[in-house]
Amino acid sequence: MSRTEAGPRIGAEYAWVRRPEPCVLELVSKLAREPWTDRPTCVHPVLAAVARVVHDHCSAGGRRSLLPLAPLFLDTARPGFDLSARLVALCVSTALAGPGELTKDERSRLRNGQDTAAYLLAGRPGAPPGGPIRWWFPALDRLNLSEPFYRTVVATEHAAEAVVVAARGGDHDVWLKRLLRQCLALAS
């Protein structure tokens, strides 16, 4: 029985899920010789968040077209603000430029994500950060936890929301695959 045919399994590993096609990240986990999961450790967390949301918003054909991209995800995990902020900036700018209508709340959240990414890409100039970052960044920075918190929590949420907004545009399979390819180019 293949992993995609098996039902849920209780154990230390990722639960096997019944579905016709695997997520590109599940394929990456096998290529990296990791347990079957859509959160392989060899993939940058923000890139993984983007890939999961792209997978979730693509048609079945669109999902299959993502599978050949799997080798490009390998060994993209690395610490630092730079890649995380660049990925967020790319996803947010794509969402803001897309054809879909944005609510006031979505536009505000996307702008906050864009402002945070711009602040971090500017090398954290002397001016205090604005927006929501002003609450968590100074405290976590003193403990050397600001980068992992941004990389694994804040940036993943900003990028994922931007991809959801971008997915509402016209031919979403084409838009999303193009966005994922651009993110992979940044990570390589």
Domain ranges of the chain: 81-187
Helix 45-57 with 172-187: angle, nearest 10 deg? 170
In this prediction the pTM is 0.83
State the sign of the Cα–Cα–Cα–Cα dihedral 24, 27, 33, 35: positive
Q: What is the pLDDT of residues 26-78, one digit of tens each?
A: 999 999 999 988 899 999 999 999 999 999 999 889 999 999 999 999 999 99
Q: Which amino acid is at 73?
A: F
Residue 2 has pLDDT above 50, yes or no: no
pLDDT at 19: 56
Residue 168 has pLDDT above 90, yes or no: no
138 SS3 class: helix
| Residue 181 contacts residue 24 (beta carbons within 8 Å) | no
pLDDT at 54: 94
Q: Which amino acid is at 1?
A: M
- Concatenated DSSP letters of 129-152: P-TTHHHHHHHHHHTT-HHHHIII
pLDDT band at 132 (very low <50, low <70, confident <90, very high): confident
- Separation of alpha carbons 83 and 88, rounded Å: 9
For all residues of the chain together, what is the average pLDDT? 84
